[in-house]
Structure formats: C-alpha cells, structure tokens
Amino acid sequence: MCTWTAIQDKVKLAYCNFPHCELWLQNLVGAGIDTTTTTVEWAMAELLHNPHMMARAKEEIEAVVGTDGTVEESHLPMLHYLDAVVREVLRLHPVIPLLVPHRPSSTCTVAGYKIPEGTKVFINVWAIHRDPQFWEDALKFEPERFLSGGGCKVDYTGNSFHYLPFGAGRRICPGVSLGERMVKLILASLLHRIDWSLPDGVKSDLSEKFGIVMKKEQALVALPTLQ
Ligand code: HEM
C-alpha cells in the first residue's frame, strides 16, 4: 500500500528528507504557476491593446483548430503567429526581470569587469530585452519580428544572450517546455471562438509593477463574448 509514511521512508532512503521534498515541490509549483499565468495576462493585455494582432491570432487558431473542435497540444506546432506573439510577450514583459540571483563559483571576468567568486549577480533581462543595440524598434510590441523573414532567430535555450526569458546556463528554468506549451495552450483556448473586449470606459493600460515576478500594475479585466 502506498502511504505517506511509506513514501517518506523511500524518500529518506534516497538521502533526502520529507520537508526538503515538500519545499522542493512547493518551489516547483510556485515557480510554474505565477510565471505562466502572468505571461498569459500580459499576452491578453497586449492583444487587447493591438486588436489587429488579436484578429490575426484568432484567424490562425480558427484555421488550424476549426470552428467546432477544442485546442489540443498537437495544434501548437502549426500556430506560428501565436508562437511569435508569445516570444514577443516574453521579450517585452519577461516575468522574472532580474532572473534569480546567481553567484559565480570562481572569480571571472565578464566584458572587462572582474566578478569575484561568490558575488551576488543580477542579470537585468528586462533592460537587455529593450536594448536598441540588439532590437529594432525595441519598445514596440511587434510579434512579426519572430516570424520567418522577420529577422530574429532566437530560442529559449539561453544561447542568445540578448534574449533570456527563461534564463541561461546550469540554472536555466527547468520548466521551459512545459511553461511555453502551457502559455500557448491557455492563450489559444482563450482566443478560440471567444471575442474579448475591455469593459466600457476602461482604457488599455500596460503599466508594470516591479517585483520578483513582474506583473501588470492593474490586474487585467476583460469581457468574453462567445462567437
Ligand atoms: C512562461 C513560463 C515560465 C517562465 C517565463 C519562467 C522563467 C524562469 C526564469 C527566468 C527562471 C530563472 C532562471 C535563471 O536565473 O537563470 C526560472 C527558474 C525556475 N523555474 Fe521557471 N519559468 C516558467 C515556467 C516554469 C514552470 C512551468 C516550472 C515548473 C513546472 C518552472 C520551474 C522553475 C524552477 C524550479 C526554477 C528555479 C531553477 C533553479 O534555480 O535552478 N518554471 N524560471
């Protein structure tokens, strides 16, 4: 029989105690939920702010999924515009703007600066993603830059140092593929056969509230209408 005590015993055998595992699971769930939901909220806010992009994303989803079906994971590789929207949302609104603090395990030199071993280092991904040295019209929300022909060939592996929404290196987000898929699946399901609008008198607002996870200053309120 599988009881908590039996699980605890097995876990102890694996040189790890139960509180450790509980914290580890809490971290995993915590790190996975806020990041994913905040990215979806930013995506909806940007699409409501740019109705022609919302229309293009909806058109693509309807062409791939049809009018009757529901969005499935197997549809995602065919949703190229949606993919570009998500990449652009993660560029302009990276949910963990300073990544998590890192410490070099030995003294190193980066771009001429000596970083002593153990120094706490924050990487300002928010600023890197808006740096005009790397991005044309850096402050403009423009998913097209990530479509083929748009000129931006970046992925989520952390190898393009000007695009690091999931971090890089040994401590890169371990939930990259789950997170990416969840965001696209939720977004496509929200857009499929549902029209969205802002409540009467509410203006589109993209102000940010700085934090470990960077959210919208005002939570997004949007009204759904079934097609
Ligand atoms: C859109 C979704 C997500 C984004 C944008 C995101 C982004 C990030 C970033 C930027 C980091 C810090 C990496 C670094 O400092 O180099 C991180 C760490 C982490 N993420 Fe995610 N994440 C997402 C989804 C998820 C999901 C779904 C999970 C798990 C199910 C997850 C689990 C973690 C964990 C455990 C860490 C800490 C890794 C470590 O310190 O070694 N994330 N994430």
Atom of ligand 1 nearest to the CA of 90: 5
Atom 11, ligand 1: which residue's CA is nearest? 173
- Identity of the residue numbered 120: K
Q: Which residues pair with 30 in a beta bridge?
A: none
User: How far is it, in rounded angstroms, from Cα 37 to Cα 218?
Assistant: 15
Atom 41, ligand 1: which residue's CA is nearest? 171
Q: Which residue, among 226, 207, 193, has the nearest Cα to 41 in the 3D structure?
A: 207
| DSSP code of residue 215 | E
Top mutation candidate among 35, 82, 156, 214 for ligand 1, by most atoms within 8 Å of CB:
35
In this prediction, residue 61 carries a pLDDT of 98
- Give the ranges where 93-223 is alpha helix by DSSP (H): 125-128, 176-191
Whose structure tokens read 């015993």? 9
173 is in an annotated binding site: yes
pLDDT in tens, the chain (227 residues): 456 666 556 655 565 667 777 777 777 777 889 999 999 999 999 999 999 999 999 999 999 999 988 999 999 999 999 999 999 999 999 999 999 999 999 999 988 999 999 999 999 999 999 999 999 999 999 999 999 877 788 899 999 999 999 999 989 999 999 999 999 999 999 999 999 999 999 999 999 998 889 999 999 999 999 98
In sequence order, the 6+-apart residues with CB closer than 8 A to the CB of 201 are none
User: How far is it, in rounded angstroms, from Cα 63 to Cα 211?
Assistant: 38
What's the whole-model pTM score? Answer: 0.90
C-alpha 52 to ligand 1 mean position (Å) = 31
Which domains does the chain carry? 17-226 (1.10.630.10)
What tokens were used for 147?
């479509």
